[in-house]
Amino acid sequence: MTLEILTADSLAPLRHGFFTRKGGASSGIFSGLNCGTGSSDQTEIVAINRARVASAMGVAPGHLTGVHQIHSADAVHVTGPQSDKPKADALVTATPGIALSILTADCQPVLFADHDAQVIGAAHAGWKGAQSGVLEATIDGMIALGAKRDQIHAVIGPSISHRAYEVGPEFFDTFLDEDPDNTRFFAGGDGDRMHFDLPGYGLARLRAAGIASAEWTRHCTYYDPDRFYSYRRAVHAKDPDYGRLISAITL
């Protein structure tokens, strides 16, 4: 089956993509393009899936570079293939032939590019990482490599949408303590529950950072099981594990 790769005009002509689960070799609950080395899927099958992604990105499998994601605000500078994955949640590079990649299953995958400076970035931005500043850290990391703030374009890929992301009052208080204006990212739910707009929050932080453009592909991971993995959907279904989507960009 052919891979399905979602792209954005603002990142073109750089090779990039938010990969769906279509076109992979995994089966069962992981059916499709599961690229999560931390999942309980067969290691050999995950390697096949990742090799297919690397091929689509035009790089060798060892040049498909990622990090050990920990929901932090840490961004690392990548200059070549890595034998070990550093603990971080974003990557930046000005080195051609390296594909920066991020794994997600509801959190925001964000790809960045400054075409003129030939500097790119990728970030994993769940609510904790986004609130801690991982998006801004990625931008700062790119600027340190020669990018200009007002020339950086950012695109948020498939993420859990507002109507699928129900949270409790403690979650709401965490964002209210940060900024009273964050109430705009919440809507009422059942009882004391609320719905949080993660992509809306990510877009607001990106736009406040003063970059050239920021957009969301408007794909919801939770409500489209044929195309996307979703941690929250797996929890609700009481599945023992879940697949991970991959997003990547290269110079």
Mean pLDDT of the chain: 97
pLDDT digits (tens, 9 = 90+) for 178-216: 999 999 999 987 888 999 999 999 999 999 999 999 999
Burial class (CB in 10 A: 0-12, 13-18, 19+), 64: buried
pLDDT at 82: 86
Q: What's the first-to-final CA gap in the chain, in angstroms? A: 26
pLDDT digits (tens, 9 = 90+) for 92-114: 999 999 999 999 999 999 999 99
pLDDT at 53: 98
R_g of the chain, CA atoms, integer Å: 17
Q: What's the mean pLDDT in 231-237? A: 97
Per-residue pLDDT band at 165 (split at 50, 70, 90): very high
- The yes-or-no verdict on residue 123 having pLDDT over 80 is yes
In the chain, domain spans:
5-161+197-250
What gap in Å lies between CA 23 and CA 25, rounded to an integer?
Answer: 7
pLDDT at 188: 84
Task: Say which residue the tokens 């500043």 belong to.
Answer: 133
3-state SS, residue 136: helix
Structure tokens at 136: 């801004």
pTM of the model: 0.97
pLDDT digits (tens, 9 = 90+) for 45-72: 999 999 999 999 999 999 999 999 999 9
Domain 5-161+197-250 coded CATH 3.30.479.30? no
What gap in Å lies between CA 68 and CA 61, rounded to an integer?
Answer: 17
